[in-house]
Amino acid sequence: MQFSKSTDYALHALLHLGNSERCNNVGIKELASTLGVSESYLSKIMSKLRQDGLVRAVPGVNGGYELSRSTEQITFLDVIQVIEGRQKLFECSNTDSQQHRLLAEEETAGRDQERSGKCECLVQKVMEGAEQHLHQYLREHTIQSVLDEAFKHGNHETNKK
């Protein structure tokens, strides 16, 4: 249960892009060298970010990447979901066991199917809650919010034209 390195790279790449909005495009070379990662691997990650609309890419001389939204509109959740996928935190397996009957069946029967066919048991309800809390927190933190913090702490060698 850990975020992958790719998420790490993606976050740092976006932070770099957000930080250097002087000339529009940042090439994979500059990006890879500042992050200390191989160009090969990072380009895959950037490609993913592009497919999900977080960045734009343009080939050719002086090409490279740029953010497709403002930094305030790119949340940690966005980045994480692009890289890690949108699978549930908890995916139940044995819905046909005896356990299931005790914890889920009675409920949906008694409460006569609250909403559509969601059919969620008590365990999943807890896990859903955990996921929602986590997502909410990650939605509240954006690339910009990190950049702001960095500026506050006396780091002023950025955004120089």
Residues 106-145, interacting with a copy of itself (CB under 8 A): 106-107, 110-111, 122-123, 125-127, 129-130, 133-134, 137-138, 141, 145
Collapsed DSSP state (helix, strand, coil) of residue 51: helix
One residue of 40, 59, 116, 153 binding a copy of itself per CB under 8 A: 153
**Residue 150 exposed, middle or buried by CB count within 10 Å (0-12, 13-18, 19+):** middle
- 30's enclosing H/E stretch is helix 28-35
Contact in structure between 135 and 76 (CB atoms under 8 Å): no
Which lies closer to a copy of itself via its Cβ, residue 50 or residue 135? 135
One residue of 50, 66, 77, 81 binding DNA per CB under 7 A: 50
Amino acid at position 136, single letter: Q
95 binds ligand SF4 (CB under 6 A): yes
Residues 54-93, interacting with DNA (CB under 7 A): 57-65, 84
